[in-house]
Homo-oligomer: A and B are copies of this chain.
Amino acid sequence: MKVLWLFAHPDQRSLSGALMTEGLRTLDAHGHQHRVSDLYAMKWNPVLDAADYAHDPAHRLHVGEASQRAYTEGHLAPDIRAEQEKLTWADTLIVQFPLWWYGMPAILKGWFDRVFVKGFAFGLTDPATGRPLRYGDGKLTGKRALVVTTAGARAATLGPRGVNGDLNDLLFPLQHGTLWYTGMSVAPPLLIPAADRTTPTAYATAATRLRERLRTLPTTDPLPFRHQNGGDYDDDLLLHPDLPQPSPPPTGPAAHYTAPPPPVHL
């Protein structure tokens, strides 16, 4: 594998840092190549703004248009281009972070905000139908991704019946809406729970689990997300009426309401 390891913790002496070191050593031992984007160490700027696109501030900024044009014309900020070059090189993206407020630290969210511009990470269309290629087919198809996250919560509270919600549901915007959207296949995430009270025994267990996940990553089945153009969605991009089959179990976000929430006003 050619692995880009994205890392977002402010202190390399942390549990997260120790696990990254362990993980990189494991990749070496199996003959894989790796590059690292340690966002805090790089002082990565996570704030998307007009300067990313050499955009004239006298004119209103349309983010989508300006970013696509800057990508096409080669005017993207150098720090963004450097990250795109790393991801282009890689066939595997590992995204490691402490779970803060049930999501990515801001410095990491801003990596996706700034690096994943139209043209680079998405924007292909099906030549036969003219429809956009997204969710399973896209610019980054052929690459795999793995989320590794440490959390203060106990494991079961991030499971299907836990008060915090199921981890796959919490990661849905990242795993489905970002990684799968751009065409990457997404391995099941690795959760290291109870991270703020890690004993030596718990650390040994976590390190063993990480090594095992990295060892088996090339042959791990990805999360079975539906392809946008795989026949499961209609022309309006809604699930066909007879899907899903079989019905899902009563878990996920809906389980945390005392009654069905009112539908979002569309």
Tell me whether A264 is interfacial, beta carbon within 8 Å.
yes
Interface string of A150-176 (1 = CB under 8 A from B): 001011111111111111111011101
The chain B residue sitting closest to A167, CB to CB, is B264
Task: Evaluate contact between B104 and A168: CB separation under 8 angstroms.
Answer: no
Tell me whether A98 is interfacial, beta carbon within 8 Å.
yes
Task: Evaluate contact between B172 and A169: CB separation under 8 angstroms.
Answer: yes
Q: How far is the CA of A63 from the CA of B247 in the complex (A)?
A: 41
Q: Spot the interface stretch: A25-33, A72-80, A105-113.
A: A105-113
The chain B residue sitting closest to A158, CB to CB, is B264
Residues of B within 8 A of A14 (CB): 60-62
Q: Spot the interface stretch: A84-92, A137-145, A229-237.
A: A229-237
Tell me whether A263 is interfacial, beta carbon within 8 Å.
yes
Task: Evaluate contact between B254 and A251: CB separation under 8 angstroms.
Answer: yes
The distance from the CB of A196 to the nearest CB of chain B, in whole angstroms, is 6
Q: Give me 15 A-to-B residue pairs in the complex whose CB atoms sit less than 8 angstroms apart, sorted by A's number.
A: A10-B48, A11-B50, A62-B196, A103-B173, A106-B113, A159-B266, A188-B261, A191-B264, A191-B265, A191-B266, A223-B257, A224-B259, A244-B257, A248-B252, A248-B260
